[in-house]
Amino acid sequence: MYFSSTTTVECLPDEIILEICRYLHCSHVLYSLFDLNSRINRSITSYCQHVWFRRASYKQLLYIYQYILPRIGSSVLSLTIHPLHQASFPLSFKHQISNIFTNLNTLTLTSWSSENLLSFIIETIPEMKSLQKLVIQELSCSSPKQNIELIEKLFNIKNSLLTNIIFDYDCDAFDLVDHGFTNYISCHNILNLTIQLDTLMDLSSLIHLIPNIHRLDVSLKNSSLGHVPFRVKFPFLKELSVCAVHWYSQLDDLKSLLQIVPSIEIFSLTISTRDFNLINGTKILSILPSQLKQINYSVCYYPYESWEYFNVDIIKKSWQSIPMIYSISEIDKRIFLHTLPYSSSRLTIRSSLAKNMPNKEMYQIYSKIDLIQVYSMINVADTFPIIGQCRRVRELTLFTAKDSTISKSTCISSADNNKQPIKLPSLGRLDILTIEGIPCGLHHLKDLLVAAPNLCVLVIDLDCLLTLLDNENEPLILYVLLHRHILDLCVRIPENNTNDPENSINDPKNENQQRKKSKLTVEKIHLIARTFNRVRNLTIDYETSDEYIESNLIKSIIHEFKQLVIFHIYGKIPADMIECDIRQWIIKQSSFRIKSQDIFRVECSNEWFKLWL
């Protein structure tokens, strides 16, 4: 009997093919496997129905656009588009999106500005007759005027099926109050809306556009609940979720808010307060509408009065009729409590309170959490008690305490309290880790990486990254894990941090402190690339710096990161780069890695440089 010494993909059973696909991205599956034969096409049906182009090279994407998408377009149910991808659409394809994706019901637009999103909405979305859900992520608001126009155009789309619009939590907040809408056209078909607003006053401006809204999720970036003179109510609103953790709210603010939702049945509220009434369960229950079926409540309390007079037994007794859980920090003089189970997909919590959360198995309580934000962090291990309970978390953001470097004595003290950090369970869905500032206990990242085998995106301040890489005492396994895991790296170079969500604006004691930041050099790029040489997407973000970016840095990055596919740098670009033929410039800088006949895309302005290989 003859046995072949080679096995092709076509010979593998469906189960093995799908197992292989789990380690690939949608674009790679389509580029590599689509149309090998009809059986494999059936096996990868899911990848033809839910399409996104993460980490695809420019050449791969053009091939998918030209040869694959026109053939599978009618099968696509959900599609994610980045402006970098959209700008690369062939002209013949760009004006036929609605004709190609005839059954598309969910469209996700990632990393757009309100300016370029506006033109896309005007030209494309009205023609998508099957579209039911629009998700907008990482939106950058260009100007107040364009923001108003964006909202008007979006809410005035003539599409009766489009009932669900989500501006994700990572979008910029809309400021709608001082600019006003030029045309109050009611959008009767929008039934579900998630949106980030600057203040509650912006909601009073928006309310006229969504008269039939049934479910509303609002995050307020720069205000408490406040007293707002709403002239119109939400007559059909059944489910309301409000998050306002940046400023302190009062009981009267809550009373004012509840007056505009006469039909509310499910109410979720996440706030910070110094009003004792807002952690008193009896008081809260006394003002809730009679028709309310469910209350989901989360509050961080920082008392005005002396902490010595604080009595937790009074609080526990007031919540006897509703299950709740709490954490107390004697050091920070704060208490955090929430009703059970925790219903929101986001959890924002102070590090000292996260550290003191009960250690018993409560992961079923936090099964809905997708994003955790821990602020005022000193030691990475302080976050483990709460992270260990949120086993389905996808994104973790850690804000270091204040803006100044944590003192050595503080780190030593923190280390004494974290000799044996809690062992983390499997965090298979954790994909993104963001660290702002320089916390103690960076070696505990090893424990996090071991628990989260699919973590592949790291967003980190340059100073923190250099602290990590320059430390000879860090265990070698940490660098091995970083090397294996991280495929997307974003290095932030901030001038200052506003990293305390709890009232950092209206509390004069929490003013940010300035400190000198490290400068990115060719030598530091070499140091970073030694560990992260598997990175395919790299972003360098000079957030508010006035320094010009040195062109030799770009040359060094192209040379050092061998597997680089997409590179963005945001900051002040030198005039000699802007004024030259940028394509020829990049070929010259790449030291023969990029050749003139290669298929690649490069763009440059005075504020950013983008390269797609």
Bridge partner list, 81: 109
Of the listed ranges 100-104, 128-132, 369-373, 402-406, the least confidently predicted one is 402-406
* Confidence band of 511 (pLDDT split at 50, 70, 90): very low
Determine the pLDDT at residue 277: 92
Give the pLDDT mean for 93-121: 85
Domain ranges of the chain: 7-75
Which pLDDT tens digit goes with each residue over 430-480? 999 999 999 999 999 999 999 999 999 999 999 999 999 988 888 899 999
Q: At what angle do helices 551-560 and 582-589 cross, to 10 degrees?
A: 60
Which range, 72-86, 298-312, 530-544, is most confident? 530-544
Query: Do 335 and 279 touch, CB atoms closer than 8 A?
Result: yes
Contact partners, residue 227, CB within 8 Å, separation at least 6: 252, 253, 256
Give the pLDDT mean for 43-54: 91
Q: Which of 303, 316, 396 is nearest to 348 (CA)?
A: 396
Which range, 220-234, 345-359, 387-401, is most confident? 387-401
Extended strands (E) in 310-422: 324-329, 334-339, 346-350, 371-377, 395-400
* Confidence band of 216 (pLDDT split at 50, 70, 90): very high
Give the pLDDT mean for 559-587: 91
Model confidence at 43: pLDDT above 80: yes
> Cα–Cα distance between 327 and 324 in angstroms, integer?
11
Determine the pLDDT at residue 185: 62
> Cα–Cα distance between 153 and 149 in angstroms, integer?
6
Q: What is the CA radius of gyration of the chain?
A: 26
Query: Do 168 and 140 touch, CB atoms closer than 8 A?
Result: no
Token pair of 167 as six digits: 């501006």
Please give the angle made by the CA atoms of 390, 395 and 396, to the nearest 5 degrees. Answer: 75
- Name the 3-class secondary structure at 538: strand
Model confidence at 11: pLDDT above 90: no
Model confidence at 160: pLDDT above 60: yes
Model confidence at 153: pLDDT above 70: yes
Report if pTM > 0.75. Answer: yes
* Confidence band of 514 (pLDDT split at 50, 70, 90): very low
Q: What is the DSSP string of 435-494?
A: EES--B-GGGHHHHHHH-TT--EEEEEHHHHHHHHH-TTS-HHHHHHHHHH-SEEEEEE-
Average pLDDT, the chain: 86
Give the pLDDT mean for 32-50: 90
Determine the pLDDT at residue 504: 47
* Confidence band of 81 (pLDDT split at 50, 70, 90): confident
